[in-house]
Structures are given as structure tokens and as C-alpha cells.
Structure 1
Amino acid sequence: MNTRSQQFHVWQRLAVLIWLFNGPAILAADPTPPGWSLTWNDEFDGKTIDPKKWDFDLGNGFYNYDANQWIHGWGNNELQYYTSDSRNAFLKNGQLHIRVLKESLHNCGYTSARMKTRTRDGRPLFNQTYGRFEFRAKLPTGQGIWPALWMLPQDEKYGPWAASGEIDVLEARGQEPNKILGTIHYGSRWPANAHSGGEYTFPDGGTIADFHTYAVEWEPGEIRWFVDDHQYATKKSWWSSSKTENGQGAKPKTAADLNPWPAPFNQPFYLVMNVAIGGNFLGNPDASTTFPAEMIVDYVRVYEKTDGYEPPPPREKSSLPF
């Protein structure tokens, strides 16, 4: 266990002692992780989803203006249609529920929700460069169910995906409930994109169907992944290039083709939460998959490092794509 983890668990034990003398109301206020200060959060204590914090992606795809074509299935051949309907996303007992229903809508066989903090009515909601991004959630299981807690760039400064990056705090294949993945996507725009990260297997029969705290700590030149404050992966190398050939992303050939380190992870990112169904990553549901399928989020919290951030260390030569 690292020093920061030890400090956090000391705070947890102290909170329990406080609860013994003062009751559960005080325990509900979780301690701030040492070395971090809270900058944004949603505890989902209201009656409805806060429109000042969240907006929704809608539909089953997007228009790719570079290719001048509609990309169905969000580029992954996914089967769900995202809505803002209160049957697919709602608050109950101080928690957010994202619910997947097996129903037909606009030629899709399922409805779900994909929430984001990018903009609403043209105004930014929330984004941040660097920090600790923390979600406490229990996730749905079953063949073809794909829950994810992740981040995307507020502005695609370095070009379309994945040149401007993606940070996956967590994603899971519902048919593998004892395992999660933390991933970063980077490189050039598709198809010259790259990704790396790590995976975590829950010990002692634990699964994603239980509540766990998933977090990423993102600093200049380093990204770390945690489950229940256990650090299971670290990345210190990646690259970004805006180079194109014939209208598509191209692999850089020299250092001059690279964007300045630590691009693309030196720009503001916003939050995304969703449950997708089927597609290339995990396959489609089958007769064993149970619906409705539901992701429940207890809270989302974002922190800044109290003492600020050090400049990034030099780029590791092993991260170069040539």
C-alpha cells in the first residue's frame, strides 16, 4: 500500500470512530483524500438530475464531418439508442440510476443514457485539466452489457479522436464481472490511433455488481488508476500527432510530427457516464442477458492537487511511435 493509501485509510478509521460517538450523519461526509481539495461534485441528493451539471448525448451515432458520413453505433456497432428520458436516467434515494431497457426505438433494440458535463445550450458545464476524478458506483452485469465512466477532451485541440485523447476511468464487459479496465486512447486520429492501460481483477469473489470507488489521478506526464484506493495501473508514456494522409490519421515519422509533450493529456477534459449494449468491444447480448440492466452511481467527485503540479518529466523514449 502506498503512502497516500495509508493516509486515506487512517482517515476512514477516524471517520468510523467519529460515527460511534456522533451517529451516521457525520460518517456520510467522506473525508477528502489527503493532498487534494474538492473542486466539483454531484452527490445526487436532489429529486431530478441537475441540468447545471449534466447534459445528454442522444441517438445511436454521430456525423463524421471529415468523412462526410453518419457513423452508426457510435463507431463500435453498439445497439442502444441514448435518450434523456426519465426511465433511462433518474435519481432515487440519493443515487443516480442509468437504466437500459430492452425496447425498440428508432430501429434500435435497446434504450439507455449517456450523460456528460461538456456543454448545455452552448455553455460549458464542467471540465478540468489534471486532478483526481472519482466515481462510486455499482455496475450491471451480463453478456453484451458495457458500463463506462470516462473523460473526453473539451475541445479537440489536436484533432479528432484519438489525437486529442480519451481517459477511461473504468470500463467493464458485463460477462466478466470480476474484472475492469482502465485505459487511455491517444496517437493520431483514426485509424492511426493507439491505446494502453491496465486491468484489475477483484479478489475474494468481488465483482462490479458491488459498490466500489473508481478513480484516476491525472498529473502532467502521469496517469494512475485506483479501485477502492488500491492503485493498479500507471502510465507515463503516450504521444499525439495531428499528421494526416489522404484525409486520415497517419503514424508520425519524426519528432517534428508530434504535438508537444504531454499532449494530448494537457488540455481540459469533461466527464461521461453511460451504459452501452453490444458492439465490437464485448459482443452482443444473448438469451442469458437480463434486462432492465442498471448502473447506480452514488457520487462523482473531482479534486485538485493542493500543492499544485510539477512540470512533466521528459518524454520517455519508449513512448515514441517510430
Structure 2
Amino acid sequence: MVGIALLLFSLVYAEALTPEVHLSLLTQRGLQIKVKDIPGLQEVGYHYTINKVLPYTNGDYNYEVYHKSGDGFWTHENNNVQVNPGDGISYALYFKINGIGEVISNLHWKAQTGTSSSTSTNNTFGGLSTESASANSQHPLTTTTTIPQTYPSQSQNMKLIFSDQFNGNTIDKTKWKHDVSAFGGGNWECQIYSPEPANSYVRDGVLYLLPTLTSDKFGEDFLYHGVLDVQQQWGICTKKEFYGCRRDSKDAIIPPIMSSKLITNEKFSFKYGRVEVEAKMPVGDWIWPAIWLMPRDEHYGGWPRSGEIDIVETRGNRNYGNIGIHQMMSTLHWGTNWDQDRWGMTTQHRDLSSGTWGDDFHTYYMDWTADHIILGVDGKPVLTAATPPGGYFQKGHFSGSNIWQNGGNDAPFDREFYLQMNVAVGGTNGFFPDNVQHGGYAKPWSNNDPEAPKKFYESRHQWMPTWKGEDPALKVRSVKIWSYSSDHAMSLFG
């Protein structure tokens, strides 16, 4: 029940609304769910399972309806699923009203011929009331939903502790610090993170993090015959691992891309709260943007022992199997060693039925308490990770001593984290899997290739045409962070 009540953090309405939900069996085969139209309704999502528990809001069947039908309903029909009288439907609903998303979860219906009933009658979940028609009704199930009138940013328990609307002409150095390194994320990614103005800048209220060719600054000969001393070039090197502070072309090609990574570490960190980042994802082959959080102090040890929270990651490719720029992912990383990362137990994705995440701005968010971490977009949860009752060590089925035994059940996610935003390119850790059908040409490198960055660069005639203008930039219009308790916020400005 914890995860259900906590979904209320995504609710935002100026007034109470009561959408009616109707479920029924189709005559020949399948299921119909429809919502009666209300003012301002722009989209309805139907997520459901049959004869099993719905894992939060991620069902076996997930559909979005973008247009209402002529009868004044937003209707979903699935003729490809077998639903028999007596089967149980567990479902969640998503409503987008006047640009704001809201989720209602933990709804249930027992399928019957000619009549409908619900197992979630007259329940209240943290202020969200659902009332269902009686089992003797000769009409499909009608669920009346009363929406609370509070929203996190308006709640008396919320306090805005970080905000940047990028209103000036430069990056605010009191809030952000550049990561400056050729570290490559430990994944042999192809970029150098630089403080160069060509790679990070503010214009017209938008922050741009734009990848460019290293040869644009240093010349192509430098890639094959030069030495990059990061400290000497920019006066600072923030990460020395994986040859992050010095690259010699005698060992391997100098990273062929320059890009940007901004972090709030040493400026700001916090524990428990809500993050909202309004951003447009980059478009271009092999571009890997991320908006994510890392622990301020590696209290439980090096990665992933102290955790990692990925609010959103995407792949910039338009034509990369079914995992290109139409898909976004949210993930938690946690484990006892780098090769024991249990991220696969805490990751979900959302796919657009049309368009891409690079077509427009979306609001990516995190709600984080001791009881849960919810990651999502436009008010719609993507990943809901309730704190395991026995802690993450038990959840991960690790052996040996519990490295988080001195923390809370939510350890390692019980310490202060800081926010970071970056645009990486390429890499060999499998984020860009081998053997995925790619439109136009094959992936230029394999993930076990020691010369992956070189092969990536030398195929630029294939991928550079997909990097059009500023499309490869991660564009950010707003960053806001609230604390759920002032005791949990820590500001390090100055």
C-alpha cells in the first residue's frame, strides 16, 4: 500500500475532477476500457494485467489514447487479449489534463458478462478516494475519483531549496561546477568533458550541453599524434581514473568528442525531496544524455555500493531497433561490487507511440523519501521503487556481510546525493548493444573492441549527418529541487 499512497506526489489539479471509468468485455474477444471526457483532458493511459498483481503502474498491457471518440469517451479496446468471466483485471489510469499528468493506481475489476464489479470499492489511499458501482449493476463499472487539491510545491511540508531557470547569459557558477576530465565514465566513452563555451552555454533561457568534434579545437592530427594534459589545458582535472587527466595518442586515439557535464557537487546536495528538470533530449546517433544523481560521500564504498539514481537516459539514434530516441529509461544502480550491480531489478522505460523525446521539452522528475523512489516524466511514473522491507541487501540476494547494515532499509539511498547533467557519446559497457538493427549502417564498433573510440570517429561520415545543428545538445529550461523536510536539505553555496 505504501507505493500507492506515494503516487500522490504526482497529483496536481486546481479543482476536484471526477472522471468516470467504464470496463466491459467485448462481444467476441477482448477488453474495453473507456473514460468519459472532462474539460481539459488531453490524454488517457491504460495500464493493466490479467489475473495477477499490477507492479505499481507498469502492466503487461500499456496503452495511451490521444484522441476521444465521437461518443465523448476516451476508449481503449484490446481484441488480442483473452479475458473470461471471472478473470481479475488490475489496472492503473493516467490522465493528462491541461498539460499536467496524474496517476491513479490499485484499481481492480472482476470480469463478468452483462455486469461489472470492482474489488477496490470504497477505499481511500492517502486521500485518493475511489467509489465503484455495486456488483448488481447492469452497467459497466463506473469509478468516481476525487482528486486532492495539493501538490508538492504547494505543500506546507515542501521547501524549494534549489532553482535555476537559466535567465542570465552565462552558467551560474554559484550553482554548477563543470566536470573536466577524459575519464570517459569508466566505459571508454568517446568524449572529453570540457568547460569550453562551445560545449556548454545559456541562450534565451535555455542551457545547452552540446557535443562537438575534438578536432574542431585541436585539429585532426592531434587525435593521432598529440598528448592531452587536462590539467594544463583547463587548469583543473576533476577525475583521474581511466587516464582522465592525461591521454597520449601513442596509447590510443585522443577522445574524438568534446562535451559537457555540469554537477552540483561542492555546491549543493540533499537527502529526500523532489526534483523536476524540464529538458529536451539530444537527437543524433550514439549520443547518450543523462540527468542523474550520485552520492555526495561514498559512505558505503565505491560505485555501486553507495548508489546511483538515473532520472532519465536516452539514446539519440532515430533508427536503432526499438530502443532509440523514442524510448527513455529510469534506473537505480546499487550493489556490493561493480560486477554485482542489481540495476536490472530497478529499471523501467517509457516509449512514445509517435515522435521522440527530442521533439519537445518534458518534465523529468524524482520523488524520494525513506519509503520510496519514484522516477517519471510529465507527472507519469516510469519506475516506482518502494523501499524493500528487508533492505536492498536482502532484495539483491547478496551473500556475505551486509554492507548497508548500519544504514536504513533504504540504504544506500539514505545519504545526501547531488545532481548532474551530461551528454556522453558511445561507450563499451553495453548501453549501445551490439547486433541491434540500425537504419542505414551498422554500429561502427563492438563493445569488446579496444579501439572502439577510433572506429567510432573514423565512421563519422555515417553518423555526423545525423548531428544537425544544435539537435545533439541536451537542452534544459528549468531545474527545481524541493526538500520534504528542512532537516534533510543541505545547501553548500559559497
Alignment of 1:183-198 (within 5 A): 183-195=331-343, 196-198=346-348
Distance 1:9 1:264 in 2: 37
Answering whether residue 190 of structure 2 is matched by residue 57 of structure 1, we say no
Alignment of 1:154-233 (within 5 A): 154-175=296-317, 176-195=324-343, 196-233=346-383
2:161 pairs with 23, 39, 51, which one?
Answer: 39
Preserved contact between residue 426 and residue 432 of structure 2 (Cα < 8 Å): yes
1:85 pairs with 185, 189, 196, which one?
Answer: 196
Answering whether residue 399 of structure 2 is matched by residue 253 of structure 1, we say yes
Residue matched to 1:24: none
2:287 pairs with 145, 167, 173, which one?
Answer: 145
1:263 is displaced (CA, Å) by 0.7
Distance 2:417 2:171 in 1: 21
Paired residue type of 1:220? A
* Larger RCO (CA within 8 A; separation ≥ 6): 1
Distance 1:10 1:294 in 2: 38
**Greater Cα offset, 101-110 or 260-269:** 101-110
Q: Deviations over 1:136-157 (max 9, x none)?
A: 0001122210010000000000
2:417 pairs with 255, 258, 269, which one?
Answer: 269
Answering whether residue 427 of structure 2 is matched by residue 279 of structure 1, we say yes
Give 5+ residue unaligned stretches, structure 2.
Answer: 17-39, 41-97, 99-150, 219-227, 229-253, 318-323, 434-443, 445-455, 489-494
Answering whether residue 473 of structure 2 is matched by residue 294 of structure 1, we say yes
Preserved contact between residue 158 and residue 240 of structure 1 (Cα < 8 Å): no
Superposed CA RMSD in Å reads: 2.9
Residue matched to 2:93: none
Distance 1:79 1:166 in 2: 22
Residue matched to 1:130: 272
SS of the residue aligned with 1:41?
Answer: strand
1:210 is displaced (CA, Å) by 1.3
Q: How many residues of Structure 1 are paired with residues of Structure 2 in the alignment?
A: 268
Preserved contact between residue 138 and residue 296 of structure 1 (Cα < 8 Å): yes
Identity among equivalent pairs (%): 31
Distance 2:14 2:281 in 1: 24
Preserved contact between residue 284 and residue 468 of structure 2 (Cα < 8 Å): no
1:209 is displaced (CA, Å) by 3.0
SS of the residue aligned with 2:477?
Answer: strand
Specify whether residues 10 and 140 from structure 1 end up closer, same or farther in structure 2 by C-alpha distance, changes over 3 A only.
farther
1:40 is displaced (CA, Å) by 0.8
Distance 1:154 1:253 in 2: 27
Specify whether residues 203 and 255 from structure 1 end up closer, same or farther in structure 2 by C-alpha distance, changes over 3 A only.
same
- Calculate the TM-score normalised by the size of structure 2: 0.50
1:205 is displaced (CA, Å) by 3.2
Distance 1:207 1:252 in 2: 36
Preserved contact between residue 153 and residue 267 of structure 1 (Cα < 8 Å): yes
Q: Deviations over 1:194-216 (max 9, x none)?
A: 21221111244353331100001
SS of the residue aligned with 1:7?
Answer: coil
Preserved contact between residue 127 and residue 271 of structure 1 (Cα < 8 Å): yes
Specify whether residues 57 and 208 from structure 1 end up closer, same or farther in structure 2 by C-alpha distance, changes over 3 A only.
same
Preserved contact between residue 177 and residue 209 of structure 1 (Cα < 8 Å): no
1:112 pairs with 259, 265, 279, which one?
Answer: 259
Specify whether residues 32 and 194 from structure 1 end up closer, same or farther in structure 2 by C-alpha distance, changes over 3 A only.
closer
Preserved contact between residue 188 and residue 240 of structure 1 (Cα < 8 Å): no
Paired residue type of 1:272? Q
1:76 is displaced (CA, Å) by 1.1
SS of the residue aligned with 1:273?
Answer: strand
1:103 is displaced (CA, Å) by 2.7
Specify whether residues 232 and 308 from structure 1 end up closer, same or farther in structure 2 by C-alpha distance, changes over 3 A only.
farther
Paired residue type of 2:329? L
- Calculate the TM-score normalised by the size of structure 1: 0.75
Q: Deviations over 1:195-252 (max 9, x none)?
A: 12211112443533311000010110311012111122201256667xxxxxxxxx84
Specify whether residues 267 and 6 from structure 1 end up closer, same or farther in structure 2 by C-alpha distance, changes over 3 A only.
closer
Paired residue type of 1:295? L
Preserved contact between residue 404 and residue 412 of structure 2 (Cα < 8 Å): no
Q: Deviations over 1:50-104 (max 9, x none)?
A: 111111111211xxxxxxxxxxx22112001110111111110011111111233
1:179 is displaced (CA, Å) by 0.8
Specify whether residues 291 and 253 from structure 1 end up closer, same or farther in structure 2 by C-alpha distance, changes over 3 A only.
same
Preserved contact between residue 180 and residue 194 of structure 2 (Cα < 8 Å): yes
Preserved contact between residue 349 and residue 382 of structure 2 (Cα < 8 Å): yes
Preserved contact between residue 293 and residue 419 of structure 2 (Cα < 8 Å): yes
Specify whether residues 307 and 112 from structure 1 end up closer, same or farther in structure 2 by C-alpha distance, changes over 3 A only.
closer
Q: Deviations over 1:119-174 (max 9, x none)?
A: 2xxxxx10000111110000112221001000000000000000000000101111
Preserved contact between residue 294 and residue 418 of structure 2 (Cα < 8 Å): yes
SS of the residue aligned with 2:185?
Answer: helix
